[in-house]
Amino acid sequence: MAQLEGLLIVLNDQSKIDPLLKTFLANDVRGCTILDSEGMTHHIVAEDKDENHFQALRALIKNSPSHSKTLLVAASEGEIQRVVKLALEVIGDINKPDTGFMMTFPIDNVYGLMKK
C-alpha cells in the first residue's frame, strides 16, 4: 500500500465550505471528514466569567469568526498535493486574515479503513 498523507484544513471563512466540498466531489476526492471547531482563545474568552480578566482579548478578537470547520483528508502521498491545489483554488489566499490554515502530515498507521 502506498504511503498515506493527511491534509488538515481549518476553515474560518465558512462561505468556502460548500464550494470546497463540491470541488472535492467533482474531482473524486473522497473520505473528507468535517468537524465543527473553535479556537482556544475564542473559547476561553467566551467561557470566562470574570469580565475584567480577558477584556483586552475580547477587544482584539471581537470581529474575527469564533467557529470554524476543520476538514481532514487522507490520501496517497502523491494525491495529497492535488487535493491541496484544489483546496487553494477554492479558498484563494489562505494567508488573508480570518481565512484559515492548512497543513499536511504523514500517516504512519491506519485502522478501520476499508480497502478500495
Q: What is the pLDDT of residue 74?
A: 92
Q: What is the pLDDT of residue 98?
A: 82
Q: How confident is the model at residue 78 (pLDDT cuts 50, 70, 90)?
A: confident
Provide the domain count of the chain: 1
At 10, phi and psi to the nearest 5? -100, 115
Task: Give the range of the structural domain holding residue 73, as residue numbers without chain letter.
Answer: 4-39+67-107
CATH of the domain at 18: 3.30.70.120
What's the predicted TM-score (pTM) here? 0.77
Task: Decide if pLDDT at 60 tops 60.
Answer: no
Task: Decide if pLDDT at 69 tops 70.
Answer: yes
Position 44 in a domain: no
Closest CA to 100 of 69, 57, 77, 75: 69
